[in-house]
Structure 1
Amino acid sequence: MKVLLTGSTGYIGRRLKEKLLEKEDVSLRLFTRNKKSFSSKTINSLEVVEGDSFDKDSLREALKDIDVAYYLIHSLSSENYKDLDKISAQNFLDIANECGVKRIIYLGGLGVKNNDTSEHLLSRIETGEILSSNKNVQNIWIRAGVIIGSGSTSFEIIRNLTEKLPIMTTPKWVETKAQPIAVEDVINYLVDSLYLKQSENLVIDIGSQQLKYKDMMLQTAQALGLKRIIIPLPFLSINISSYWLNLFTPVPFTVAKALIEGLKSEVVIQNDNAKKYFPNIKPLDFISAVKKAVEEIETNQVISRWSDNSGKIWDRNHSKEIADAIFFDRKEKDISTLSKESIYKAFTSIGGENGWFDYDFLWETRGFIDKMIGGVGLKRGRRDPNKLRIGESLDFWKVIDVKENERLLLYAQMKVPGNAWLEFKIEDNKLIQSAYFYPKGVLGRLYWYTLIPIHYFVFNNMINSIIKKARSK
């Protein structure tokens, strides 16, 4: 069976890829914006097509000779995501029909169309409707609500609120009903959808027990061994709730607002097709799903996270932008007495719970300011304390390039009047640490000049601490 997987660098896509690779009867092809987001092992062992769903030529190359295609694409990071999602889905369906694809498997969200349906949920529903509109291509439409797993948006929000706030004053949406589901169960439904014998379009709603969001928080506290008090307040608006999530959880304001708007609608199962067509799948209960997610985090077994999507960051030529940078701070140190491996391990372990050496409080202050103005802040942390891969987030940075024992390039995703990069490079027995900045207007220049004294201490300390850490290894 020839299978195309889109969204393979996303939260669900990475996990689904691992499961599909275990299937001996599946010949897997990946469709991605940038091949660099995969390891050399993946690129050498699998067929990878570079492109996106707005480029019909790359779609033709990706969908040629494919039997089943997974559609895990959305444009939530763009302001006009609703229009883009429609164009993307229609392009995909048209080219799939042209190429003779038999089945599209789409993961959407639970919910129904009504006056209270959020823009985000409405977009997911409309995407499913488009993918179901051609009688020549079957659509298996899997609909899930709150996904619980290490690194999922929903779980990170619930876990962070529960851990940090002993007493929570919450808006009335905590009384809204939902049917959460463990990420492992979502993957099982997606994989087993390959083998369905039915030929007609199917909408399959999946989930475990029905819970209010309030119940989820209290059960999360129970799973974590905590006691929490929740006090609903009816006057908290969507914007206030979004700022609350932005401040106390890793998600930025724009994501928080899209999610909060969706929480006013119930997301519960509308059909029993999951039991009918997948009788062997028994979804985990909520507390078990939470405990499993926490175990993965504590044992550094997190495969993917919500913040690891590549997005349009790959559409840019960072090499050219860095070359055009007006300001830069460069430090060099001789490392002839140290191994490249120890230096590489030292600079690729920065951030997250490992911290930023002696000036953590400055980084934390910058992260707090970023959160207050709607940025991503430092709370995203890192997926693994020792390993980095291209495309994943590292506090308020995004990993643009990483080459073993050679280079790490980070792009700043904090709110900043310009574009900024931080690079570590091993070259000719030297460690070269460079900060690049391309300012936007006068404000950007003032921003750089204001930070020069702080940069002096932070960047000098950083390269010296990397050398010190490498020596200790």
Structure 2
Amino acid sequence: MKVLLTGANGYIGRRLKSLLILEKDINLRIFVRNKEKLSKNILDNYEVIEGDTFNKEALAEALSGIDTAYYLIHSLNKDNYKVLDNKSAENFIQIASDCGVKRVIYLGGLGVKNDFTSQHLLSRIETGEILSSCSSVQTIWIRAGVIIGSGSASFEIIRNLVEKLPLMITPKWVNTYAQPIAIDDVMNYLVSSLYLEYRKNIIVDVGSTKMRYKDMLLKTATALELKRYLIAVPFLSINFSSYWLNLITPVPYKVAKVLIEGLKSEVTIQNNNAKEYYPQIKPIGYIEAVIKAVIEIEQNQVLSRWSDTDDTTWDVNHINQINDAIYVDRKEVNISSFDKSKIFKSITSIGGENGWFSYTFLWKIRGAIDKVFGGVGLSRGRRDHSNLRLGDCLDFWRVVDIKENERLLLFAQMKLPGLAWLEFKIDGDKLIQSAYFYPKGILGRIYWYILIPLHYFIFKNMINSILKKSS
């Protein structure tokens, strides 16, 4: 069976990819926007096609000769994501039909169309309807609600709220019903769909026990062995609730707002197809799912995170922009007497719970300021305590280039009047640390000059601390 996986660098896609490569009876092809974010093992052993669903030529190349295609694409990071999602699905199903694809497997969200349906959920429903509209291609539309797993946006919000707030003043929407599901169960449904013998279009609603969002918070507290109290009030607006989540959790304001808007409508199972067509799958309970997710986090086994997907980062031509940077703060030290692999290991250990060497309080202040303005702040941390890969989040940075024992390039994702990068480069016997800034207007220039005194202490200390840690 020839299988195409789209969205392979996203939260679901990364996990599904790790399972599909274990399936011995399929020939896997991967379709991504940026193939450099894939591991060397994937690039060396699997066919990878670079492009997106708005490039019809690349899409036709990706779908040519394919039997079954996974559609795990959305444009949530774009302002006009609803329009883009519709166009993406139209292009995909049209070319899939032209290429003779037999089956498309799509993961959407639970919910029905009504006056309370959020724009995000409506977009996911419309995507499923478009993919199911082609008579020559079967669509298996898996619909899941709140996904409980290490690294999922919903779970990150729930866990952070429960861990940080003994008393929670919550919106009235916490009394809305949902049917959460463990990430491993979602993966099981997606992989099992490859072998489903049913040949017509089908919508498969999946989930575990029906419960209120309030119940999820309280059961999470039970799983974490904490005592928590909730008070629901009717006057918390979507904007205020989103801003509050942005401050308390790692999720930025824009994502938080989308999730909060979705709380207005129930996301519960509407059919019995999961039990009828996938009888071998028995979804685990909510508390068990929470405990498993927490163990993965504690044991540093988080395979993917909600923040893995950020196409806007890769729209920036980092090399050209760095060359055009107006302001550069560069530090160099001789490393002829050091082990370069240890230096690189020291460099890639920064951020998250490991901290930023010294002047940690200044980094925390900058992170808090970023949160106040709706940014990501420092709370995203790291996916892994000791390893970095291309595309990983590192507090309010993202890894946009990494070459073992040579270079680490970070792109700033905090709120800034311009574009910024932080580069660590091993060049012969020199370690070069560079901060680049491309300002936007006069405000960007003022911002840079205000920070010059802080940069002097922070960056000078940083490069010295890297050497100290490597010795």
TM-score, normalization by structure 1: 0.99
Matched, 1:150 2:146: no
Q: Which residue of 2 aligns with 1:123?
A: 123
Q: Which residue of 1 aligns with 2:325?
A: 325
1:105-116 aligned at under 5 Å gives the runs 105-116=105-116
Matched, 1:96 2:72: no
SS in 1 for 2:108: strand
Give deviations 1:199-233, integer Å, cap 9, x for gaps. Answer: 11000000000111111001101111100011111
Q: CA deviation at 1:139?
A: 0.4
Q: Which residue of 1 aligns with 2:87?
A: 87
- Structure 2: how far apart are the matches of 1:414 and 1:313? 12
- Structure 2: how far apart are the matches of 1:26 and 1:352? 38
Q: Which residue of 2 aligns with 1:287?
A: 287
Matched, 1:193 2:193: yes
Q: Which residue of 2 aligns with 1:72?
A: 72
- Structure 2: how far apart are the matches of 1:51 and 1:248? 36
Q: Is the 8 A contact 1:353 1:381 kept in 2?
A: yes
Q: CA deviation at 1:461?
A: 0.8
SS in 1 for 2:190: helix
- Structure 2: how far apart are the matches of 1:308 and 1:367? 20
> Sequence identity, in percent?
68
Q: CA deviation at 1:360?
A: 1.0
Which one-letter code corresponds to 2:213 in the other structure? Y
- Structure 2: how far apart are the matches of 1:284 and 1:311? 33
Q: Which residue of 2 aligns with 1:263?
A: 263
- Structure 2: how far apart are the matches of 1:193 and 1:441? 52
Q: Is the 8 A contact 1:138 1:201 kept in 2?
A: yes
Q: Is the 8 A contact 1:310 1:392 kept in 2?
A: no
Which one-letter code corresponds to 1:137 in the other structure? V
1:138-177 aligned at under 5 Å gives the runs 138-177=138-177
Runs of 4+ in 1 over 6 A off after TM superposition: none
Structure 2: gaps (5+ residues): none
Q: CA deviation at 1:107?
A: 0.2
Q: Which residue of 2 aligns with 1:468?
A: 468
1:303-382 aligned at under 5 Å gives the runs 303-382=303-382
- Structure 1: how far apart are the matches of 2:303 and 2:227? 29
Which one-letter code corresponds to 1:394 in the other structure? L
Q: Is the 8 A contact 2:111 2:121 kept in 1?
A: yes
- Structure 1: how far apart are the matches of 2:322 and 2:239? 36
SS in 2 for 1:169: strand
- Structure 2: how far apart are the matches of 1:172 and 1:263? 10
Matched, 1:48 2:52: no
- Structure 2: how far apart are the matches of 1:127 and 1:356? 42
- Structure 1: how far apart are the matches of 2:89 and 2:359? 47
Q: Which residue of 1 aligns with 2:23?
A: 23
SS in 1 for 2:371: helix
Q: Which residue of 2 aligns with 1:234?
A: 234
Matched, 1:300 2:292: no
Q: CA deviation at 1:326?
A: 0.2
Q: CA deviation at 1:429?
A: 1.1
- Structure 1: how far apart are the matches of 2:310 and 2:444? 25
- Structure 2: how far apart are the matches of 1:425 and 1:140? 47
- Structure 1: how far apart are the matches of 2:331 and 2:452? 14
Count residues with an aligned counterpart: 471
Q: CA deviation at 1:13?
A: 0.3
Which one-letter code corresponds to 1:357 in the other structure? F
Q: CA deviation at 1:354?
A: 0.3
SS in 1 for 2:227: coil
- Structure 1: how far apart are the matches of 2:393 and 2:92? 28
Q: CA deviation at 1:313?
A: 1.8
Higher mean Cα deviation, 40-49 or 445-454? 40-49
Q: Is the 8 A contact 1:85 1:127 kept in 2?
A: yes
SS in 2 for 1:375: coil
- Structure 1: how far apart are the matches of 2:13 and 2:68? 15
Which one-letter code corresponds to 2:356 in the other structure? W
Q: CA deviation at 1:316?
A: 2.4
- Structure 2: how far apart are the matches of 1:410 and 1:180? 35
TM-score, normalization by structure 2: 0.99
Superposed CA RMSD? 0.6
- Structure 2: how far apart are the matches of 1:402 and 1:42? 17
- Structure 2: how far apart are the matches of 1:68 and 1:392? 29
SS in 2 for 1:304: coil
Q: Which residue of 1 aligns with 2:247?
A: 247
Q: Is the 8 A contact 2:77 2:310 kept in 1?
A: no
Q: CA deviation at 1:359?
A: 1.0
SS in 1 for 2:112: coil
- Structure 2: how far apart are the matches of 1:288 and 1:361? 37
Q: Is the 8 A contact 2:177 2:266 kept in 1?
A: yes
SS in 2 for 1:468: helix
Q: Is the 8 A contact 1:60 1:95 kept in 2?
A: yes
Q: Which residue of 2 aligns with 1:57?
A: 57
SS in 1 for 2:358: helix
Higher mean Cα deviation, 339-348 or 305-314? 305-314
SS in 1 for 2:36: helix
Which one-letter code corresponds to 1:106 in the other structure? Y
Which one-letter code corresponds to 1:16 in the other structure? L
Which one-letter code corresponds to 1:109 in the other structure? G
Q: Is the 8 A contact 1:309 1:392 kept in 2?
A: no
SS in 2 for 1:419: strand
- Structure 2: how far apart are the matches of 1:456 and 1:284? 53
Give deviations 1:23-67, integer Å, cap 9, x for gaps. Answer: 000111110011110111210111110000100011011111000
- Structure 1: how far apart are the matches of 2:142 and 2:440? 44
- Structure 2: how far apart are the matches of 1:340 and 1:365? 32
Q: CA deviation at 1:366?
A: 0.6
- Structure 1: how far apart are the matches of 2:316 and 2:449? 26
- Structure 2: how far apart are the matches of 1:231 and 1:82? 34
Q: CA deviation at 1:198?
A: 1.1
Q: CA deviation at 1:376?
A: 0.9
Q: Is the 8 A contact 1:9 1:310 kept in 2?
A: no
